[in-house]
Amino acid sequence: MGSDPETVTFRGSDSSEYLRRLPKAELHLHLEGSVTPSILRELSLKYQTKYHSLSEEELNQQLFQYQDFYAFLESYQIVCEHLREPADYLKVLDRLGEYFREENIGYAEIIYTPAVPWKFERDGKEILIALLEKTRELESTQGTMIRWILDCVRQFGPESAQRTAELAEEFQDRGVVGLGLGGDENSLEMKVFKEIFAWARAHRLFLHVHAGEIGGPQQVWDALLILGANRIGHGIQAARDSKLVDYLRQHTVGLDVCLTSNLKTGAWTPISENPFGLLFQRGVPVSLNTDDPGLFQTCLTEEFEKAVRFFHLNQEEVHRIVLQGVHSSFLPHKEKMVLMKRFQEEIHRLSA
């Protein structure tokens, strides 16, 4: 790839500032995972949970550091238990609105998991309606285009997944573009969800499947061949299977790569050995994402900075990855081309 990271300059600009000002698309962004220590502390005080007496630093040390992927899931569950009504979710979305503005994120696909409030006997549909109304406000006031993916939780089983699929279809004309499958790859087999995802595909929903994060390459094959995934969340383990890498390239299946996430959950460490660089070199469509910016305390500019530093990306390669975010999005072709033109014009102005 490009030159040594110590010598990278982007047309005379400070590279960090240049990366921050670049237009960006974020395709793998969990709403629940966007809860910061500050927001969790506010919610803990609101509901007087056992964490309400902790400072932000204490919360950070106790809940925002993870020994492995399953420790991360435990913290994720604790965060979700504090999201109890639409106002709580809107607080998180408000913060994301600020984040989009700070990071110059022109397009975002946010993942919301209605199965979480359903699990606690709360109204997941009411929360979605509130989120979609707030989305329209954010789009009109700051220009970030936002679409939604409703995620099924793998370990919750097919009944919950079917309910999620039906909710996604119901709100398809109001900003929901896809059905996702997340959760623990080592729980239920993907074939359990085959009919549900076939139903979603028949109803013109895009399919987004978490696979190949902590599970092996076969998880990615199953996501593609059993569920018909249009895009893979993470997918880094695909690098262990050369035939799979060729398939992803030939069929232009995008991978949402999340470097800091992989580091902090132990899915792949260190970052310098993450398969991102190999996958990019082999022509697999890869985008950069934060996954859970609150829980991992990162931002999209930092993800690009790490990619430049550890994989020696030059300016042209950075631009290719930025535009891949638009290519891999779940927008209709016409809207995608309009967004692509907008991004290309912004990049040209920055680079001139």
Residues with catalytic annotation? 213
- Helical pair 37-47 and 86-103, crossing angle rounded to 10 deg: 160
Spatial neighbors of 333 by CB under 8 A, at least 6 apart, are none
Task: Return the residue matching tokens 């398969």.
Answer: 275
Spatial neighbors of 285 by CB under 8 A, at least 6 apart, are 248, 249, 252, 253, 254, 255, 324, 327, 328
Q: What torsion do the CA atoms of 122, 126, 131, 137 make, to the nearest 10 degrees?
A: -150
Task: Return the residue matching tokens 């991360």.
Answer: 72
Spatial neighbors of 189 by CB under 8 A, at least 6 apart, are 222
Rg (CA), the chain: 19
Q: Which two tokens stand for residue 154?
A: 């793998």
- C-alpha 64: how far from chain center: 18
Task: Give CA angle at 302 (301, 308), nearest 5°.
Answer: 90
Task: Give CA angle at 8 (4, 10), nearest 5°.
Answer: 155
Could you tell me the CA-to-CA distances from 218 to 15, 58, 60, 302 in Å, in that order?
A: 38, 39, 35, 30
Strand ranges (DSSP E) for the chain?
24-30, 105-112, 145-153, 176-182, 206-211, 231-234, 254-257, 286-288
Contact present, 103 and 17 (Cβ < 8 Å):
no
d(CA 182, CA 180): 6
Contact present, 311 and 289 (Cβ < 8 Å):
no
